[in-house]
Amino acid sequence: MTERAGQFYIGGQWVAPSSSAGDSVAVVNPATEEIITRLAMADAEDVDRAVKAAAGAFASFAAASPEERYLLLKQVCDVYKERSEELARAVSEEMGAPLAMSRQQQVTAGLGHFAAAARLARDFEFETTAGTTVILKEPIGVCALITPWNWPLNQIACKVAPALAAGCTMVLKPSELAPLSALLLAEILDQAGVPAGVFNLVNGTGPVAGAALTAHPRVDMVSFTGSTRAGVAVARAAAPTVKRVAQELGGKSPNILLDDVDFGREVSRGVYAVCNNSGQSCNAPTRMLVPNSRMDEAAAIAGAAAGKVRPGHPSDEAARMGPVVSRAQFDKIQKLIRVGVEEGARLVAGGEGRPEGLERGYYVRPTVFSHVSNHMTVAREEIFGPVLVLVGYENEDDAIEIANDTPYGLAGFVSSADPARALSVARRIRAGQVNVNGAWPDFNAPFGGYKQSGNGREWGRYGLEEFLEVKAILGGAPAPSR
């Protein structure tokens, strides 16, 4: 996709930036620290072109029937499958996911959202009646979609797919750190027959392209995934035009292991979950809560499990973990590991520096801290790396209080040998999604956060409804016969 890096996809065409002397940034392979390509950066003029293209296409696409949108999404799924290997290799190259993980998780997640949206386009009730009132759920309009680098296809698809199902038009601004898979997806949507102007793509930075998109008066909705700090800036920029803003932001998810679980299994599973995707998941279970009386036992198991996680080049089939995405991310993680040691957390595994034998690339050692108090920096801040902290609790009520003692509320995890007990605890966790006993992801389940983890929901029916307005037509339905 490097040949597309100097272009944007606007109005069904690949076009040059508004200024041939425009800015560009290097796209770096995090496994090698080598430049893959240079990416053109959009300015406000490019953003305006893309928004106008989306606005021009809105009326006709909004009028398409649900069946037409269903068939279009099915075609997107077919082309996506055909090009899945290209997508997997692009994701691995741009953000460092092991190739096997890229195929099995990154690419599969994106397809899952398109398939779920296709079913919704077919089955969702866009028109209902209540007495003599007709209630319509109509596309909200032009949507600005701003996505991160950590799960690029998942995060793009869970916005683009429901927007298409709803009948919206859109402008996507993917992360400039991981743009290659987004450029490929634009080709896929074009190949699948998405009408010109319905989907548009510009690359750029948040402060320039993202800000222009968010503030644009012809944008009706912003769907943003990223850091809480950036989310605040998005909300401020959108406020003067009173547009809808849906946000999926940071997390510091608790993983409560109740005293009746198999610690060997559940502690190890928790370590592997944190190391998946090199710890770069907003819902990663990074705070493991264990009974104080079993802290030493849990620490020993966690340390042993971390030692089995092999970091390596994404093409290495034996590697379970690739690099983190960038030098800035690597440096941030190293600093926070150092802070953890300075604040008195007990380092059980990992620590500062690269793993042995990996002298080049942004590789981080799988790291475990035990005997952590919930006020320590490593228990409060989202590290976004393969760093797990073990926090002790006295009893069930104490565990729940610690779990909820965070500014975030994106996800939570509970494990118990008694499913009813696990469910009871899950009900008391203030988070948008709680996983009980290692349940698999569900593309039909809503995903989103409480508190500073955001607002609105993605995935499934609830994700579709974010892209819809509700209209009541009074007297539009015949009165019921007597």
Whole-Å CA distances, 4 to 32, 198, 265, 335:
22, 19, 46, 36
At 480 the pLDDT is 73
* Contact (Cβ atoms closer than 8 angstroms) between residue 408 and residue 250: yes
Give the pLDDT score at 93: 97
Q: Over range 35-44, report the average pLDDT.
A: 96
Mean pLDDT along residues 174-180:
97
User: Contact at 8 Å (CB) between 278 and 386?
Assistant: yes
Q: What is the pLDDT of residue 214?
A: 97
Q: How many CB atoms lie within 10 A of CB 242?
A: 7
Closest by CA position to 147, among listed 99, 93, 213, 81 = 213
Domains in the chain, start-ordered, CATH in brackets?
Answer: 2-249+449-472 (3.40.605.10), 254-436 (3.40.309.10)
Mean pLDDT of all residues in 417-422:
98
Nearest to 227 by CA among 244, 208, 251, 210: 251
Q: Indicate the range of 12-26, 80-94, 264-278, 467-481 predicted with least confidence.
A: 12-26
Cα(100)–Cα(465) distance, integer angstroms: 33
Residue 430: which of 406, 454, 446, 466 has the closest Cα?
A: 406
pLDDT higher than 80, residue 2: no
pLDDT at res. 382: 97
pLDDT at 20 over 60: no
Is the Cα dihedral 160, 161, 162, 164 positive or negative?
positive
pLDDT, one tens digit per residue, over 386-416 is 999 999 999 999 999 999 999 999 999 999 9
**pLDDT confidence band for 164 (50 / 70 / 90):** very high
The rounded mean pLDDT for the chain is: 96
Instruction: Pull the structure tokens for residue 355.
Output: 């793993």
Spatial strand order in the sheet of 244-248: 13-15, 8-10, 199-201, 169-173, 142-146, 221-225, 244-248, 454-455
Neighbours of 179 (CB within 10 A): 27
Q: What was the pLDDT predicted at 26?
A: 96
CA distance 448 to 434: 11
List phi, psi (to 5°) of 415: -130, 135
Question: What's the whole-number mean pLDDT along residues 298-323?
Answer: 96
Q: Which residues contact 282 (CB under 8 A, 6 or more apart)?
A: 150, 225, 248, 249, 250, 251, 382, 410, 411, 453
Please say whether the dihedral angle defined by the alpha carbons of residues 76, 79, 85 and 89, taken in this order, is positive or negative.
Answer: negative
- Please give the average per-residue pLDDT across 423-446, as a whole number: 96
Residue (of 394, 336, 334) closest to 362 by Cα position: 334
22 pLDDT above the threshold of 90: no
Tell me: pLDDT of 211 over 80: yes
Statement: residue 29 has pLDDT above 70: yes
Task: Inform me whether the pLDDT recorded for 35 exceeds 90.
Answer: yes
Note the pTM of the prediction, 2 decimals: 0.96
Q: How far apart are CA 326 and CA 280, in angstroms?
A: 12
Q: Taking the CA of residue 163 as centre, how many other CA atoms within 13 Å lie in the half-sphere pointing to its CB?
A: 27
Residues with catalytic roles: 248, 282
Neighbours of 440 (CB within 10 A): 5
Our CA dihedral for 28, 32, 34, 36, rounded to 10 degrees, sits at -50
pLDDT at 213: 97
